[in-house]
Amino acid sequence: MGIVVVIAIIIIVVVVVVKKNKKDENEPIIPEIIEKNYIKTTMKENFEIPSDNKIQVVGANFQFKLNAVILGKNGKKFTIGNDGKIEGVTKDDFPLTYYFNESITNGSYLFKDVKCFKTIDLSRMDGSQLVDISNMFENSDFEEIYFGTESEPNNNQLRYLEEGMDFPEEGIEEEEDEEEIEEEEEKKYFYTPQIKSASNLFNNCANLKKVQLSPYFNVGRNAKGMFKGCKKLEEVNTKSISSTEIEEMESMFEDCSSLREISFSNDFLTGEIKTLINVFTNTLLNILDISYFRLYNLQSSTDIFKGAAISGTLKLGKYYSNDNIRDNIFKEIAKITDPSTHVYTPSGTNINTVFENIYSNERGVRITVTTIDIDYNINYKEDANYRLYSNKLHFGLGWDFNLNNTYDLDSSVVTFDYKYKYLSNVYYAHLTEYGGAINLNGDDLTGEGEGDDEEIRVSLDLLPSNVQMFTVQLNSYNGNSLKNVESAYIRISTDSEVIGTYSITQAGDNIGLLIGCFFKKTTNNSDEWYFKPLNEVIPGHEVTESVTAIQEILHLIFDNKMISTTEFISRLKWVADGLSVYSQRQKYNSLYWNGTHWFADCSNLIKSIINGRDVYTPKRGSYQKKFPVVGDVNANNLILKCNNISTDFNELQYGVPRLLHLKDNQGNGHVGVYLGQNVYSSNGYANVIEATTSWGANAIIYSWVDSDGTRRRYQGGPLSEMKYNWSSHGSLDQWLW
């Protein structure tokens, strides 16, 4: 009996093992590497599978090898044919999941004409090697397309994103090790740092209702027709689009007839845009915000709004390549804008008058245009200066008393010579200067009472000749944020007119605000004074702590320079001496700091520091200066903005930094900085700093340039892997003082 039981048990075990092994044979074996690189889909409810049981899952025009497998819901494996179809599929096999054995480099036409799916989620697809996603979803029937969460990753997540790792939900502490992190629920972003083109990406996706882009969704140089023909699309988050290099926007939103709002934020960068033909054609918008557009290089403004309509809110920008381009754009807008639309234009310009006149001529109707202060990158040289015809100035500062908080605001005047050298100031601790030419009435500590709480009076004709300019500003002495001060203002007037009244809440969370600058011009032995509004935040509880920041702003205003040459080199070396990662995140002028590492590509490293990036006590995150010295340009265009460009490297001089430039075989640019000095680095002597992947560095490093332009890891050291040498160099003196 015992023997029989043992035999029975053995038989059962053998049967179970055989069944288990048989089941394993039918199940596809997915290598761990491809489990981290996949796409999920769901099927359309009304989709009918053809009689031959073959469905299109990859675009027929997709011409590149796709090393992937498709698994059905129950683990059934499908092979993709040369025609982009799989066969033997039933509705029970849905949803389908694409597993990639390797990163693909070209996604153009990948899902063109695919009709079976309702949704697709690419948030777990590895896009790090993609260079082209043009026509990727053209003429497909997707209703929803997801590339990941639209929220910007936190600093901990960004660390994993930059290093190509998966990362957990927000809240995981940085010190947790990778094993603990991998056990958490993972989130992925479709990260495409190398994209060159996204033209026609969603072209003619007539049923597409929702697109959820991931942060830093790079579109490269070409976004032509990107959303064209998406007639059911109701919302586009342009803030997620990384547009540092974008040059083509033709027909980008053409025929998006369900879109009611298109609002471009300060992160959507347009400095390289060359064409906008048909970009808003046949749209019916309630809100259009193009106030941040900087159309410096726009070559044509034809048919931008052909067949469109705007009713509700319209916000216009101030930067155009020339007045004809601007006026042509305004004429088109005037023809298609409802007379009841609220039109906003930037303050400090005559754009409101220009638009009102054009609107009146085009529509025969006068409208009221409201000016607003727009927090975008201001080019001072394009700002009109206000001529003063009176020698008597009055500055009145006022704010309401708040029972819950105590505010002590202090107005002040600081004087400078023609080289921006500090001369003197008038503030609560020094009430008069120059024999009474500048006077402050006292120091109000609370803001109680009606009318102006503090007053400063200036007699221009009594100022000494060496006073070439002076600034007016205010500071919150007790450190309370200016945005919380109730009804605060500063009014600037002469004895005959009010020049302007400025709301102090424009300073946001800061405690200091530089209102404007008065400067003197001498013409035919006669002094003329002008006022330039600035509205720039400054540090300091009192003006004595703000003088250095004010001087930097004056250098920027009149010389278009942010920092000195010495300070520029010092900051570059500080970054190169720290921990860093080469990163093509394509974020405008971004030198990103995550608390331990710097992240930047070659041009953004240089631009960010020229624009004043604080590297000694940096805040976490990227950096965009309100008043940039260097605008929205890539490496190839950065060298073109330099003075005295040369290909003779014997001209490099000790003590004179220069911008170095080269192009690879594909025409992609790379830049570095010749330091004008030799530095002993960990590898040997160096005279260049660059952000690069060469020599396996993948970081911001020291390197060396020979007198013939040869590029080396250090003096006498190895050449770069591709032997790319520096081809030209240019002066930095137009940006540095």
At residue 482, the 3 state secondary structure works out as helix
Q: Provide the pLDDT for residue 135.
A: 95
Query: Percent of the chain at pLDDT above 70?
Result: 78
Stronger pLDDT, 267 or 578, i.e. the higher one: 578
When mean pLDDT is compared across 187-196, 455-464, 679-688, 694-703, the lowest value belongs to 187-196
Q: Provide the pLDDT for residue 463.
A: 94
Stronger pLDDT, 374 or 607, i.e. the higher one: 607
Q: Where are the domains of the chain?
A: 1-30, 381-558, 565-731
- 21-48: average pLDDT: 62
**What is the distance between the alpha carbons of residues 530 and 535, in angstroms, rounded to a whole number?**
16
Q: Provide the pLDDT for residue 728.
A: 93
Q: Provide the pLDDT for residue 415.
A: 96
**Looking at the domain covering 381-558, what would its CATH class be?**
mainly beta
Q: Provide the pLDDT for residue 118.
A: 93
pLDDT digits (tens, 9 = 90+) for 202-226: 999 999 999 988 776 888 889 999 9
- 147-167: average pLDDT: 46
347 has pLDDT over 60: yes
Q: What is the mean pLDDT of the chain?
A: 78
469 has pLDDT over 60: yes
255 has pLDDT over 50: yes
pLDDT band, residue 483 (cuts 50/70/90): low
**What is the distance between the alpha carbons of residues 488 and 482, in angstroms, rounded to a whole number?**
8
Give the dihedral sign, CA 717/722/727/729: negative
pLDDT digits (tens, 9 = 90+) for 551-579: 878 877 777 666 778 888 988 999 999 99
Q: Could you tell me the CA-to-CA distances from 526 to 388, 418, 437, 520, 523 in Å, in that order?
A: 13, 16, 19, 10, 5
Residue appearing with tokens 């030419």: 437
Residue 234 has phi, psi (to 5 degrees) of: -105, -15
- 139-146: average pLDDT: 94
pLDDT digits (tens, 9 = 90+) for 598-608: 888 888 888 88
Rounded to a whole number of angstroms, the distance between the first and last alpha carbons of the chain is 101
Give the dihedral sign, CA 194/199/204/206: positive
When mean pLDDT is compared across 66-80, 140-154, 663-677, the lowest value belongs to 140-154
pLDDT band, residue 241 (cuts 50/70/90): confident
